[in-house]
Structure 1
């Protein structure tokens, strides 16, 4: 049973400027909940602006962003700092100030888990239904190989790449994380690439590569899965299984169908799996090794999936913004 802490009443105006009605409902709801979290949980009363100067309640003001308030744990902030020091691949402004940033969610989620590889291993065993996983060997966030010319030769980057030991060898896991954003609209002509064609032939990953490579809706998923497969193929000198896992918000109704359509194009559909964020967090909570780690997961649940906490104010906003009915 969830504990409820009495809170002082919060006015709708304290949540700050909200997204335009033209934005997708899930994105608007996520931004609103983050605005609520900023005020009620972080105690940050002011809010920031977009790069174009538009105020938005789900953006932290500069002082709060600089103080690391967008990160839910020291491990998350440390993962961000370490990755930023490695070079291009993270947006420091968005990650420290935009509360709906999927990159920030990635650090908040994987920071504590990667800091305790045995915990992460147990979570992956459950969500992937893979009890034969034996060790987490490496976790790289916002991953792309340093010498792209040795791999696929393009600018594809994956949210996280995990190397895993299994009974009898090594496998890879590509993690793609979606919060309030959609799949990338960036399209690369992979059907014209000899590297992708060679990868398809050497791995037999896709049932009909020509069809898959020309499917614009699956372009990002193809590139991410291909990058994971090619990375281990080059690094290990052998072709080994690489699983693509999508973790998405339970209220995101668009990501699932796109991913499922891609999975049907795989020769082995078991190499693609998706799980909603709520279930992933619940799995991490159940297997948390300590009370402190469990509380960290509960913080993530409150911030990212417990929309019922901000529901009364959300309905107040809807009532205030819906067009007046004609009498």
Structure 2
């Protein structure tokens, strides 16, 4: 049962300059901290600015940002492998996409049969027979043998299908935007060679200079290049974008990227609620199902914090001196 909390327990909230999806998600995470975790204090960003959606140090050290023991263990295991998992954001920032990643894949990945069934159903690929291996925050150790840049994948799966080995690149978005990092893909010989050998994009040069789709393109290209180098006889790589159902921007970017592909089925977008629904329907035990329901509550069930959200938006409207007729906060 959630604790009875007031608006004051939720702490400092984002400025109105942030998008509605990010503000609402941060607010709900603030509610989850206070009502579900029972943590009535909150932390600060590196800049020193307090946020209700950041755990205070003691709660972070206790591992309260992780939904299950498997999630925390996945984080610790990845940390031992070296750079890639941000320890501060993973343990303290409740809106971190990296934390969502380990909260999702920690439990799923601990049961290979469960993970396999979820992937098969989400992708509608009954021909996927085995998940050979998977890695989070993945980049090849010798970048010079691949694409030579600093691109890193949220997760990379090697799967065995009825037709051979294939790759799955997972890009996960919660409240964060797509990377604005500029890399001269159009001037890269490695990308040009990949484009000519794999026929992934129908107009590679046009795709390479489009900054809107840059992150998705680089992630997809890296997955394709990894298989090209490591598994020369393997098939292609599918890009899988999982985003929050309230994040309409992510879908627009994905649509733009999909239009650049020779084979549009090589890019699949899924809403987080669909992913968790499939995980729940296939959960192998009552404890696994309970973990998934906890993720639904934390990341999707905004109605649980709606009454406080309405109180918050009313207060903001009053403080800004703007009437609801001229200024609407959703």
Shorter-chain TM-score: what band?
A: over 0.9
- Match of residue 173, structure 2, among 170, 174, 178: 178
Q: Determine if the alignment matches structure 1 residue 290 to structure 2 residue 290.
A: no
Deviations 1:137-161, CA, capped at 9 Å, x for gaps: 1110000000001100000001000
- Match of residue 64, structure 2, among 58, 64, 69: 69
Give 1:168's aligned residue.
163
Quote the RMSD (CA, aligned, Å).
1.1
Q: Determine if the alignment matches structure 1 residue 324 to structure 2 residue 321.
A: yes
The separation in 1 between residues aligned to 2:17 and 2:182, in whole angstroms, is 25
Q: Determine if the alignment matches structure 1 residue 315 to structure 2 residue 296.
A: no
Q: Determine if the alignment matches structure 1 residue 110 to structure 2 residue 105.
A: yes
Q: TM-score, normalised by structure 2?
A: 0.96
Q: Determine if the alignment matches structure 1 residue 14 to structure 2 residue 6.
A: no
The separation in 1 between residues aligned to 2:16 and 2:208, in whole angstroms, is 35
| Deviation for aligned residue 1:21 | 1.1
In the superposition, relative to structure 1, how do residues 242 and 8 fare at CA in structure 2: closer, same or farther (>3 Å)? Answer: closer
The separation in 1 between residues aligned to 2:134 and 2:220, in whole angstroms, is 16
| Deviation for aligned residue 1:325 | 4.6
Given that 1:187 and 1:220 are in contact with CA atoms closer than 8 Å, whether structure 2 keeps it comes out as no
3-state secondary structure, aligned to 1:164 = strand
Q: TM-score, normalised by structure 1?
A: 0.97
- Match of residue 81, structure 1, among 63, 76, 87: 76
Give 2:115's aligned residue.
120
Give 1:35's aligned residue.
30
3-state secondary structure, aligned to 2:312 = helix
- Match of residue 87, structure 2, among 84, 92, 101: 92
Mind listing any 5+ residue stretches in structure 2 that lack a counterpart?
A: 326-330
Deviations 1:51-94, CA, capped at 9 Å, x for gaps: 01111100000000011110000100000000011001111011
Q: What is the aligned residue count?
A: 322
Give 1:58's aligned residue.
53
Q: Determine if the alignment matches structure 1 residue 153 to structure 2 residue 148.
A: yes
Mind listing any 5+ residue stretches in structure 1 that lack a counterpart?
A: none
Give 2:328's aligned residue.
none
The separation in 1 between residues aligned to 2:38 and 2:322, in whole angstroms, is 37
- Match of residue 136, structure 1, among 131, 136, 139: 131
The separation in 2 between residues aligned to 1:198 and 1:178, in whole angstroms, is 29
Deviations 1:198-243, CA, capped at 9 Å, x for gaps: 0011100111101111111011011000000000110012352100
Given that 1:203 and 1:239 are in contact with CA atoms closer than 8 Å, whether structure 2 keeps it comes out as no
Deviations 1:147-176, CA, capped at 9 Å, x for gaps: 001100000001000000100310000000
The separation in 1 between residues aligned to 2:4 and 2:227, in whole angstroms, is 53
| Deviation for aligned residue 1:187 | 1.6
The separation in 2 between residues aligned to 1:11 and 1:36, in whole angstroms, is 9
3-state secondary structure, aligned to 2:156 = strand
The separation in 2 between residues aligned to 1:119 and 1:104, in whole angstroms, is 20
Give 1:216's aligned residue.
211
User: Where in structure 1 do 4 or more consecutive aligned residues deviate above 6 Å?
Assistant: none
The separation in 1 between residues aligned to 2:28 and 2:147, in whole angstroms, is 39
In the superposition, relative to structure 1, how do residues 28 and 325 fare at CA in structure 2: closer, same or farther (>3 Å)? Answer: closer
3-state secondary structure, aligned to 1:255 = helix
3-state secondary structure, aligned to 1:156 = coil
The separation in 1 between residues aligned to 2:5 and 2:245, in whole angstroms, is 26
